[in-house]
Amino acid sequence: GEDVEQSLFLSVREGDSSVINCTYTDSSSTYLYWYKQEPGAGLQLLTYIFSNMDMKQDQRLTVLLNKKDKHLSLRIADTQTGDSAIYFCAEASPRGYNKLIFGAGTRLAVHP
Amino acid sequence: EAGVAQSPRYKIIEKRQSVAFWCNPISGHATLYWYQQILGQGPKLLIQFQNNGVVDDSQLPKDRFSAERLKGVDSTLKIQPAKLEDSAVYLCASSSGLAGEETQYFGPGTRLLVL
């Protein structure tokens, strides 16, 4: 099937690290993405990783990819209140003309 | 560089009425996507255009939804007649269409409420 799975909710203290996990479905997916959605806004691209990589770091963001288990994670270091949002994992399906298949999103709440 | 533009931002209609949404992609982007995002869910692809041709409309409810991209630039998505379950955010995205540059950039979305 085409189900990308994410945990629905994560609560962290300001300054701690956040780890958001995702399981995708298609082992032939070439790109895997993380998008951020703030209330009332569209999707903001955070980062992406090619399937031939196992890690990518971009400032406070670290993406880890385990192709064997089809598991993707996003780590946010030094989480701030401005990071509170819904985070979507998405895979680009080569079988579907590169359409994105999204998870249901993980709501990140950052508290002082 | 200007991002993906969408209008209107909000729309409230009654069931059985018609509605249209407009999208202007990032300049030079050949591929345009319309996604539907129901509250509490991730976006789901409705239709994908490459220039002015349809690449994938397998998830588009064609009895009531239609979309066009006549000149290969901006696009219109129409619902006629609307049902209560069409209440959602309609997101437009674009990508360059070039190999190795498949990243999709999203507009702010149009929030539709059908009463």
Q: What is the pLDDT of residues A16-53, one digit of tens each?
A: 999 999 999 887 888 899 999 998 888 999 999 998 89
Residues 55-84 of B with CB under 8 A from A: 55-56
Q: Give the residue with greater pLDDT, B1 vs A26.
A: A26
Diameter of chain B measured on Cα atoms: 43
B22 and B76 in contact (C-beta within 8 Å)? yes
Cβ burial of A7 (10 Å; 0-12, 13-18, 19+) is middle
Q: Is the pLDDT assigned to residue A94 strictly greater than 80?
A: no
Nearest residue, CB atoms, A48 vs list B50, B55, B103: B103
For A20, the 3-state DSSP assignment is strand
Q: Is the CB of A98 less than 8 angstroms away from the CB of B95?
A: yes
Q: Is the CB of A104 less than 8 angstroms away from the CB of B42?
A: yes
Q: Is the CB of A42 less than 8 angstroms away from the CB of B102?
A: no
- Report the distance separating Cα B50 and Cα B72, nearest Å: 8
